[in-house]
Amino acid sequence: MLPREKYLEKGIDNLSDIDLIAILVGSGIKGRDFLSVARGVLSKIRRLLREGKELEIADIIKVDGVGIVTAMRILCGIELGRRLYDLSSKERVYIRNSQEAYAALRDVGKKKQEYVIALFLNSRFEVLDRRVICIGSLDGVTILPRDIIIPALEVNASSVVIAHNHPSGDCSPSQEDIVLTRRIQEGLDLVGLNLLDHIVIGKDEWRRVEV
């Protein structure tokens, strides 16, 4: 399903980061479809932000398939998000326990579909990045350790916090939650990363997944 069709049928909450960029990109070029262009743009933006650089048109148009107008559209969308939701806040967020993880991720409890979210932390437990790993129930979506490991290594994280919501409102961990946690923990251990926590978020409450 194309991003625009997904938006109209399922709503904006079901769009991945690449889907959002793809809608802004609009079209591809000969030899590259718009989703391929969107992946290039998203990769470029993430790299610039990790390096602490400002997002400039000159950088975005280096992505094959992106012209000045498309770059302006993307950067204006990001700037509007900053102004409306204060996405550019420099306040540091630290996650040292389950309660702080819930405080940072409690908004996931409002989602009508099941979201799996990961927070990537440095050695001081400062949040480096937050990413949507997948959308959909855990018994209907296959999550592999590499889905967590690859972005963790990209941002040079030391620890990872995972959270997902139960749209039913019941935050009791299921057997699938326990199996997933164990599998991811084992995978992270192999590459020297620490799974700090995995919490299940319900309606105004949460529970820790114990393995």
Determine how many CB atoms are found less than 10 A away from the CB of residue 65.
20
- Report in angstroms the alpha-carbon separations of 139 from 69, 125, 167, 199: 42, 30, 14, 17
* Model pLDDT, residue 153: 92
- Block residue for tokens 């990961």: 118
Query: What SS3 state is found at 145?
Result: helix
Count of alpha carbons within 13 angstroms of residue 119, beta-carbon side: 27
Per-residue pLDDT at 87 exceeds 60: no
Per-residue pLDDT at 54 exceeds 90: no
* Model pLDDT, residue 50: 81
Q: Is 61 exposed, middle or buried (0-12, 13-18, 19+ CB in 10 A)?
A: middle
DSSP state, residue 105: H
pLDDT digits (tens, 9 = 90+) for 110-167: 888 889 999 999 988 999 999 999 887 655 557 889 999 999 998 899 999 999 999 8
Where does the chain show beta strands of DSSP type E? Answer: 115-121, 127-135, 159-165, 194-201, 206-208
Terminal CA-to-CA distance of the chain, rounded, Å? 36
pTM: 0.60
Q: What is the C-alpha to C-alpha distance for residues 64 and 85, in angstroms, rounded to an integer?
A: 30
Q: What is the DSSP string of 114-141?
A: -EEEEEEE-TT-BEEEEEEEEES-TTTS
